[in-house]
A = this chain, B = another copy of it.
Amino acid sequence: MTVYGGSGDPKRSLELLWGIQDKPRRGPKPRFTIDDVARTAIAIADADGLAALSMRRVASELGVTAMSLYGYVPSKAELIDVLVDRVVGTVELPEHDGDWRARLERIARANWELSLRHPWLLQVSASRPVLGPNIVAKYDYDLRAVDGIGLSHLEMDLVVTLVADYVNGAARNAVEAAQAREQTGTTDDQWWEEFAPLLDTVFDAERYPTAAVVGAEAGAEYGAASDPERAFEFGLARVLDGLAVLIESKRD
């Protein structure tokens, strides 16, 4: 239930992310690498959510006290910055082929799956973009998907942003639905069955006839209050249709 946002000192984060090291070191050898710390932290967040990701927890899984982590990372915020870049780095970036639409669709699906694989990702709010190596690589890759099809550089940026924004918005619903299923241990059907009569006692179908009929029909069709994956498929097709309007108008 409790969740975090990243964004520590950007300068320090940058150094961490790009692995800038200072001088030969004099004291005892560090017991781990930053990678070890990051890997452990990601495993915790994946398994038990961002709320479970505490310095003490990471440290204890590494067999060490909480304070010793502060030799690797200036604070928890920078650690989270590192985590984000690391998981973004797990997205495969195969050579582009197909037309722009196929490319953007593949990117959208990859983003979608990334968010589902790391449900905590969308809960990290990066107040300023943390430009880690993997995020930069992905930005470049995404841009190249729409290069050379008549868009200005600015439009390329806007297009890539649009796709990413939509996927993030849609993925939130999927992530939350999945988490609800896990946390409460009830399936969508069970929850709906338990909840519906309660809602009936309170919801005035005559006052909101449209919501009543659409909600009921959607609920029956989805077998739940919503079907995030179906919504994603529908929305993605519309977004790409909308981009097609723009891109085809440039073709002339």
Contact = CB atoms under 8 A, between A and B. Distances in A.
A238 to B, nearest CB: 4
**Contact residues of A: prevailing secondary structure:** helix
Nearest to A14: B198
A44 interface: no
Which interface residue of A1, A167, A208, A226 has the most chain B CB atoms within 10 A?
A: A1
Given A153-B213, A157-B214, A1 B4 contact: yes
Contact of A172 (B168, B203, B244): B168
Interface in A204-222: 208-215, 217-218, 221
Interface string A163-174: 011111110110
Contact of A234 (B158, B211, B212, B213): B158
A231 interface: yes
Interface in A137-190: 137, 139-140, 143-144, 147, 153-158, 161-162, 164-170, 172-173, 175-177, 179-180, 183-184
A203 B136 contact: yes
Contacts of A126: 176
Given A7-B180, A158-B231, A225-B129, A202 B172 contact: no
A32 interface: no
Interface of A: 1-7, 10-11, 14, 18, 20, 77, 123, 125-129, 131, 136-137, 139-140, 143-144, 147, 153-158, 161-162, 164-170, 172-173, 175-177, 179-180, 183-184, 191, 195, 198-199, 202-203, 208-215, 217-218, 221, 225-226, 230-231, 234-235, 237-246
The 9 closest A-B pairs by CB, nearest first: A242-B242, A169-B169, A165-B169, A140-B211, A238-B242, A127-B180, A241-B242, A140-B208, A162-B235
22 contacts: A1-B4, A1-B77, A2-B5, A127-B176, A127-B177, A128-B180, A128-B184, A129-B225, A140-B209, A144-B210, A153-B214, A156-B214, A157-B215, A161-B226, A162-B231, A162-B238, A165-B173, A166-B169, A168-B168, A238-B245, A238-B246, A239-B239
